[in-house]
Copies of this chain bind each other. A is one copy, B any other.
Amino acid sequence: MDPTLAEISLPGRVEDTDGISAEELALAARNHGIPLEALRYDVTPLGLHYLLIHYDIPVIDPAEWRLEVGGLVSRPATFGLADLKELPRRTVRVTMECAGNGRARLAPRPVSQPWLVEAVGTAEWTGVPLREVLAAAGVDPGAVEVVFTGADHGVERGVEQDYQRSLPLSEAMREEVLLAYEMNGAPLAPQHGFPLRLVVPGWYGMAHVKWLRDIEVLREPFTGYQQSVAYRLRRQPDEPGDPVTRISPRALLVPPGFPDFMSRTRVVRPGPLTIEGRAWSGGDAVERVEVSVDGGRSWSPAVLAAPDGHRWAWRRFTFDWHAEPGMHVLSARATTAGGLSQPETQAWNRGGFANNAIQRVAVACLGA
């Protein structure tokens, strides 16, 4: 009669209901989206960056905390926080997006954190490049992947685990991949991974392991839960599926005018106004952004800010609009140098991952 993990932790499922369950709502309350007006900041202020925490925020005493580096290396090592701060230091501005962003708009709806469009944020991360630490440890020529273990512990779909994710060695050795101990110039907040997290510019959030405690170099690809069960693009539960990796291109608008409290419909007055937004991509760079003010029937080029050296962060765009009385639907669409763009309707997958469907913002322009 004792409960088992399988009884309190159900397999992944999808729902045909329109309404969000209390269980999904509890996740929406504890995880935080960016209020869309905060897209106006180049760097998202602390407390407005999106947050997705699988289990609990762990309690970590920085004096006791250690990072273990081992596996297929010639010099396994243990680092305290002060040790890491003596190594070369680098700051990278990174736009991070949750792989599940947009999930709640899918039908049927994958049952998990029910994001609409707001699971994104940009921060300045400071830390030691991961490759400095790997080089010090001496990676064996037979290594193929590196697995990162966080201190957050819980159960997911029946599997008890510490959160773990891996990277291919070639990704782990990129110069901008960091073991970060600062965010926006201050020590990491508890909810962002204090005292140390992995930052993998360009990848969806699940790769940026928080509360990092262990790094292990592997001879074979990692097959843990978050790698081979969760975070796969699949249509059927029994397919192996493709891994979720880099962030698909997306543009979001700073909603113009002011909102209705409940519906969030935007209100503007007739006349000229400048619309702004942010566009990003975790693969090749966004090259152009277009805006539609007629629900996607026609598109016009927006003015995309010139590259400012922050390759892994979103870029601002603007668009001059003359609002006429009536109801309007505004949208923006990013396209990369390689020609990747955003779909009008999201291709469905069972986890609700890598959604980059075009945003639709309802705007009421009142009579003059």
Contacts and interface: CB of A to CB of B under 8 A. Distances in A.
Interface of A: 1-5, 7-10, 17-30, 32-38, 40, 45-49, 51, 53-57, 59, 104-105, 111-112, 114-116, 118, 153-157, 160, 189-192, 255, 258-265, 267, 325-327, 362, 364-367
A47 B57 CA distance: 13
B3 A258 contact: no
A261 B31 CA distance: 12
Contact of A262 (B10, B53, B116): B10
A51 B115 CA distance: 18
A357 to B, nearest CB: 14
Contact of A27 (B27, B56, B258, B262): B262
A278 to B, nearest CB: 16
Most chain B Cβ neighbours within 10 Å, of A40, A160, A259:
A259
A156 B4 CA distance: 47
A340 to B, nearest CB: 26
Contacts of A35: 30, 53, 56-57, 191
Contacts of A264: 23, 26-27
B258 A30 contact: no
Contact of A155 (B3, B5, B59, B259): B259
Contacts of A104: 22, 25
Given A29-B115, A35-B56, 10 more contacts: A2-B325, A2-B326, A5-B260, A19-B20, A25-B25, A25-B28, A30-B33, A154-B260, A154-B261, A155-B259
A18 B15 CA distance: 14
Number of copies: 2
Contact of A366 (B3, B30, B51, B326): B3
A87 to B, nearest CB: 27
A8 B364 contact: yes
A29 B116 contact: yes
A328 B267 CA distance: 49
A1 B26 CA distance: 40
Given A28-B28, A35-B56, A262 B156 contact: yes
A155 B56 CA distance: 37
Contacts of A111: 262
B45 A191 contact: yes
A29 B103 CA distance: 13
A190 B41 CA distance: 11
A258 B28 contact: no
Contacts of A7: 364
Contacts of A23: 262-264
A4 B364 CA distance: 8
A267 B190 CA distance: 22
Nearest to A31: B35
A46 B45 CA distance: 10
Task: Name the 3 nearest CB pairs between A and B, nearest first.
Answer: A19-B19, A2-B367, A47-B47
A258 B155 contact: yes
A245 B178 CA distance: 48
A134 B273 CA distance: 40
Nearest to A368: B2
Contacts of A258: 55-56, 153-155
Contacts of A263: 8-10, 23
B32 A261 contact: no
Nearest to A29: B33
